[in-house]
A and B are shown apart, each in its own frame.
Chain A
Amino acid sequence: MKDKHITEILDNVSIAMLSESELNEIRAHALECMSCRDAFEAARLSAVVIKSRVEATIEPSPFFQTRVMAALREQQAVESVPAMLRLWRSAKVLVSTMAVTTAALAVVSFIQPSQTAPALDQTASAYSEYSVIMDQNTDDQMSYEQVLSTIYEDDEDAR
Chain B
Amino acid sequence: MKAYTQLGSFEGRGSLEGWLTRIATNTCLNIVRGAKRRPEFTVSDLTEDEQGWLEQQSAGDGGEPASVENSVVATDLADRLLSVLSPEDQQALLMIDGEQASIKEVAEATGWSESKVKVRAFRARRKVREAMEKLLSYKRAGSER
Chain A residues proximal to chain B, CB less than 8 Å: 7, 10-12, 14, 16-17, 38-39, 41-56, 68, 71-72, 75
Residues of chain A within 8 A of B93, CB atoms compared: 50
Residues of chain A within 8 A of B128, CB atoms compared = 46, 50
Q: How many angstroms between the C-alpha atoms of A51 and B94 in the bound complex?
A: 8
Does B64 touch A at the CB level, under 8 Å?
yes
Whether the pair B122, A45 counts as a contact (CB closer than 8 A) is no
Q: Are A44 and B62 in contact (CB under 8 A)?
A: yes
Q: Which of B12-20, B31-39, B130-138 contacts A (4 or more CB under 8 A)?
A: B130-138
Q: Is the CB of B136 within 8 A of A38?
A: yes
Do A10 and B98 touch across chains, with their CB atoms under 8 A apart?
Answer: no
* Shortest Cβ distance from residue B138 to the other chain A in the assembled complex, whole angstroms: 12
Asked whether, in the complex, the Cβ of B74 is within 8 Å of the Cβ of A54, the reply is no
Residue from A16, A39, A49, A68 within 8 A of B100 (CB atoms): A16
Question: In angstroms, how far is the closest chain B Cβ from the Cβ of A13?
Answer: 8
Q: Is the CB of B1 within 8 A of A42?
A: no
Chain A residues closer than 8 Å to B58, beta-carbon distance: 41, 45
Interchain CB contact under 8 A, B79 and A53: yes
B99's contact among A43, A46, A54, A56, by CB below 8 Å, is which? Answer: A54
Taking a contact as CB atoms under 8 Å apart, the answer to whether B81 and A49 are in contact is yes
* Alpha-carbon distance A17/B5, docked complex (angstroms): 40
Give the residue of A39, A48, A51, A54 whose beta carbon is less than 8 angstroms from that of B129: A39
CA distance in complex: A49, B130 (Å): 14
Q: Are A50 and B62 in contact (CB under 8 A)?
A: no
Closest A residue to B53 using CB positions: A49
B residues less than 8 Å from A54 (CB atoms): 94, 98-99
Compute how far the CA of A72 lies from the CA of B129 in the bound complex, rounded to whole angstroms. 42
Of the candidates A16, A41, A42, A52, which one forms a contact with B78 in the assembled complex, judged by CB atoms under 8 Å apart? Answer: A52
A9 to B91, CA, bound (A): 21
B136 and A75 contacting across the interface, CB-CB below 8 Å: no
Nearest neighbor of B140 in chain A, beta-carbon distance: A38
A49 x B77 contact (CB < 8 A): yes
Interface pair B100/A53, CB less than 8 Å apart: no
Inter-chain contacts of B136 with A (CB < 8 A) = 38, 41-42, 45
Residues in A with CB closer than 8 Å to B106 are: none
Choose from B5, B63, B97, B126 the contact partner of A14 (Cβ within 8 Å): B97
Determine the distance from Cα of A14 to Cα of B95 in the docked complex, in whole angstroms: 11
Q: Counting CB contacts under 8 A, is B115 at the interface?
A: no
CB pair B57 A42 closer than 8 Å: no
**Is there a chain A Cβ closer than 8 Å to B75's Cβ?**
yes
CB distance from B117 to the nearest CB of A (A): 13
B1 touches A52 (CB 8 A): no
> A55: which B residues are within 8 A, CB to CB?
71
A47 proximity list for chain B (CB < 8 A):
97
